[in-house]
Structure 1
Amino acid sequence: MTFFPKMTKSQRIGLLFVILILFIDMMLYSLLIPIVPYFTETLQPSSTMMGILFSSYAVAMLIATPIFGPISDRIGRRIMLLIGLIGLALSTILFAFSDSLALLITARFVQGLAAAATWPTALALLADLFPPKMRGAIMGIALTAISTGTLLGAPIGGWLFEASGHRTPFLVAAAFTVINLVLVYFFLKDESSRSESEKLQVGGFLRHPQVAFIAGVVLLAEISLCLLEPTLPVFLTEKLSITPATIGLLFAIMTLAYGLIAPVAGSLSSRVNPFTLMFVGIISLAVFMPFLALAETLWQSALAMALVGASVGFTLSPTLATLGEIIDRGGSGAYGTAYSLFNMFHGVGMVAGPLAGGILTDVLPASAAIIIVAASVFSFGILMYVMLRFKQNSLTRSAGKEMKM
């Protein structure tokens, strides 16, 4: 990409640390997955308690995100990133030595608190460092770091677990996190003092038509993606008689497609109307989701997974840079608060997606549930885009009348 030679030293260092932080955060998130059977066998938890274990991450993130994002606008990005990395290291060590379900849930909850500190702060740091024309592609790279961490976490965790037991994956991840913490402490410079203008009226910000559209798009994409995690493996196993390893490969294909398309969509958002890109992405997601239910072979399923993953990446990548541009127009510089709201939309989708999938598949076949969700995404996507255009045209007409008076 042509903008890399133009990056300053502070921009390169900041981007490198954001990539490392987001990568390690999502790697830790998925590291637990291959070790779940071990905990299930040794602790014998109920299905409800396992659900609480996995949802505790999103619950903690939803609680803490609106607190940590605005704080980073006041005290600076470096301090908040250090706090988040300390939390990640502590949660990972707690995972390694947990001998009860209560401790596992506590570790997962602390992990969610740490993510609430690192995610919005890391994205806000990129918005601080890069001008609007570069943000689209840069934010796409950040999303690629997230998807790469998600992609590699489970395989790394499984390999380390098989090599030397259930504690090793967590201890290795904790060591990696501590190294990252030390590097941030010594090499990421403090920003200049924060401005008093860096405050955001959250209520007014959320009522902004463009922000409301972004919130809706993020929710639809995240709900769709997270809904597939608990429902699709069972459906594909029954329909295609495939192994767990093959299911993991299919989800890896989806994550890889997400990571590859994100920088492309982010780069396009600086040249093409980003709201059009988001709309195209969400409609593509709705169109491709039914192919997951209709696929009759493994190759067809792999192609459908890739198209769904690419659609989600294409949808979400422009949202990050566009939120930053809206903050720029308001003149506040409160990127931490803005990206904390993005994190909240993401968290709501993580909670609502599996819940919706569970409810629908309790009363309907999985294939019918997927098609119904796709139709809902298609309908809501069109409705939100029409409402956005209507509100923007209304504001334009009102501004024109005021100029004539």
Structure 2
Amino acid sequence: MKKENSSSVGVDKRVVFLGFARMADAMGNSFLIVVLPLYIASDNISGNFFGLKESLITGLLLGVFGLITSFTQPFTGRFSDKAGKRKLFVLLGLIIFTFANFAYSFASSYWLLLLVRTAQGIAAAFTITSSLALVSEVSTKKTRGNNMGVYNSFRLVGFGLGPLGSGFLVENGPYHLPVIGEINGFVASFGIAAAAAFLSAILVFFFVSDPDDIEPSDRKMDIKILSKAKDTVLDPIFALALATLVMSFGFSLLAPIETKTNERLSQGPFMFSLEFSALIAALAVTQPIVGKLSDKYGRRIFIIIGLICLMPIVLVEGLTTEPWQMITARGLQGISAAMVFAPSLALAGDLAEKGQAGSQLSVVTMAFGLGISLGSFVSGYAVRFGYIFPFLIGSILAGIGLLIVRSQVPKNVESQT
């Protein structure tokens, strides 16, 4: 009788180590969510960027990361499929992150910030697609939701801790260090972000290995948009990607309008970081639970419930007038988003064809990054019409996502593998 490996009976240990490594990386990267808007508004940045207003520049610089990541992920996913190596591409992305995170310390203009942000986007494309393909490939259909939930939960814990740490560092700088001398809170944040990415690379190098049965794939990249079924128009993986896009759109509405949010709620950077992290914390806690339940009860029902809940919750964020109200709303948004995210990734993994996991899963991860990017762009622009407008748009998009999932993802969709 063949001995079952850990992926067939529970959470694969490689998923745990990879999640822990990505936790450190995500913590460093999320430092920048709070720091960058403040850095752009500080005296450290000079010059002109097409005469645009600061809030729109902030939205563009935050959003370009997701834009670059989104459009490069299908290609990096395909590269890892073709090479048959996931670990190598994860390491490559983390090394680029290390240098890019530290390079912010030397960026003194909008153009340099744009260049560094672009490098980060490329690094993320290598890391995200290879990581998720690895998680999917060491899982079975009965454990994929649980593995995806655990992996994302670790990563999101880091992503949630980062803003808390960066808000604290910026408010309490400058710092006097031996040999180096005095540094401000911005430089301290960038240095820690770089160190976190380097720590992640070390963890992946020593504790993560490629799936046992992975082989180089010579198949052409096969990303489907339209469905072959007669009763649907969109391919189910593409439909799941659209649901993920509208879910992640709501994630990034707050960051570009940090200064306006702080004024509206009469608060400082640290309280803003608590509000930002409330969503991530709730998402991190809920995802493993929802992922495991989706293994047992099905994926689609959780995605639909999550999108239904997101519609009123995102809208309420635009009506808040007190910090505790925003923290509560963001926490509820995180729980709702968990119902969409983990089951969508797991279902996409169920449907991905052998030798195509990197490229086909990249459709969903690309959509996540594109949603983050679009949310930043739209929020930075739409807030000029009133504080509620970015959140109203996010609520409407969640409703559109609900319609897409209900009509384009069949109830009894089966694995293609």
In structure 2, runs of 5+ residues without a counterpart are 49-53, 177-182, 228-232
Separation (CA, whole Å) in 2 of partners of 1:42 and 1:97: 10
Partner SS state of residue 335, structure 2: helix
Partner SS state of residue 132, structure 1: coil
Separation (CA, whole Å) in 2 of partners of 1:295 and 1:49: 25
Q: Deviations over 1:81-135 (max 9, x none)?
A: 1211221122123223434443332222111111000011111111111212111
Partner SS state of residue 224, structure 2: helix
Separation (CA, whole Å) in 2 of partners of 1:43 and 1:61: 24
1:246 aligns with 2:271: yes
Q: CA deviation at 1:296?
A: 5.4
For the Cα contact (< 8 Å) 2:65–2:120, is it kept in 1?
Answer: yes
Structure 1 counterpart of 2:191, from 171, 191, 195? 171
Gap change, CA 1:285 and 1:190, over 3 Å in 2: closer
Structure 1 counterpart of 2:95, from 75, 86, 96? 86
For the Cα contact (< 8 Å) 2:167–2:269, is it kept in 1?
Answer: no
Gap change, CA 1:369 and 1:195, over 3 Å in 2: closer
For the Cα contact (< 8 Å) 2:145–2:291, is it kept in 1?
Answer: yes
Identify which range, 313-322 or 33-42, moves more after superposition: 33-42
Structure 2 partner of 1:225: 251
Matches within 5 A, 1:118-129: 118-129=127-138
Structure 1 counterpart of 2:345, from 320, 324, 330? 320
Q: Deviations over 1:25-57 (max 9, x none)?
A: 322332223365355312235525544432331
Identify which range, 213-222 or 29-38, moves more after superposition: 29-38
Partner SS state of residue 42, structure 1: coil
Q: CA deviation at 1:235?
A: 4.9
Structure 2 counterpart of 1:268, from 293, 299, 309? 293
Q: CA deviation at 1:274?
A: 0.9
Structure 2 counterpart of 1:290, from 315, 333, 351? 315
Gap change, CA 1:173 and 1:351, over 3 Å in 2: closer
Partner SS state of residue 156, structure 1: helix
Q: Deviations over 1:287-336 (max 9, x none)?
A: 22233244455443332221112111221111111111001xx4x24211
Separation (CA, whole Å) in 1 of partners of 2:197 and 2:394: 38
For the Cα contact (< 8 Å) 1:25–1:115, is it kept in 2?
Answer: no
Structure 1 partner of 2:230: none
Structure 1 partner of 2:333: 308
1:216 aligns with 2:233: no
Identify which range, 288-297 or 215-224, moves more after superposition: 288-297
Partner SS state of residue 200, structure 2: helix
Partner SS state of residue 41, structure 1: coil
For the Cα contact (< 8 Å) 1:121–1:339, is it kept in 2?
Answer: no
Separation (CA, whole Å) in 2 of partners of 1:145 and 1:51: 27
Separation (CA, whole Å) in 1 of partners of 2:10 and 2:299: 27
Structure 2 partner of 1:69: 77
For the Cα contact (< 8 Å) 1:94–1:103, is it kept in 2?
Answer: no
Aligned residues: 384
Separation (CA, whole Å) in 1 of partners of 2:331 and 2:253: 16
Q: TM-score w.r.t. structure 1 length?
A: 0.83
Structure 2 partner of 1:374: 395
Gap change, CA 1:320 and 1:271, over 3 Å in 2: same
1:44 aligns with 2:46: yes
Gap change, CA 1:382 and 1:172, over 3 Å in 2: closer
Gap change, CA 1:289 and 1:92, over 3 Å in 2: closer
Separation (CA, whole Å) in 1 of partners of 2:222 and 2:215: 17
Structure 1 partner of 2:51: none
For the Cα contact (< 8 Å) 2:311–2:396, is it kept in 1?
Answer: yes
In structure 1, runs of 5+ residues without a counterpart are 397-405
Separation (CA, whole Å) in 1 of partners of 2:396 and 2:199: 46
Q: CA deviation at 1:372?
A: 5.2
Gap change, CA 1:339 and 1:372, over 3 Å in 2: closer
Q: CA deviation at 1:349?
A: 0.8
Structure 2 counterpart of 1:58, from 59, 62, 66? 66
Identify which range, 197-206 or 295-304, moves more after superposition: 197-206
Separation (CA, whole Å) in 2 of partners of 1:168 and 1:292: 31
Gap change, CA 1:17 and 1:91, over 3 Å in 2: farther
Separation (CA, whole Å) in 2 of partners of 1:269 and 1:10: 14
Partner SS state of residue 267, structure 2: coil
Structure 2 partner of 1:25: 25
Match of 1:225, as an amino acid? F
Match of 1:203, as an amino acid? K
Separation (CA, whole Å) in 1 of partners of 2:281 and 2:390: 25
Separation (CA, whole Å) in 2 of partners of 1:67 and 1:373: 29
Structure 1 counterpart of 2:104, from 95, 100, 115? 95
Match of 1:202, as an amino acid? I
Q: CA deviation at 1:222?
A: 1.3
Structure 1 partner of 2:370: 348
Question: Which one has a larger percent helix, Structure 1 or Structure 2?
Answer: 1
Q: Deviations over 1:322-364 (max 9, x none)?
A: 111001xx4x24211122212210122122212333443333x
Separation (CA, whole Å) in 2 of partners of 1:52 and 1:371: 20
Q: CA deviation at 1:12?
A: 4.6
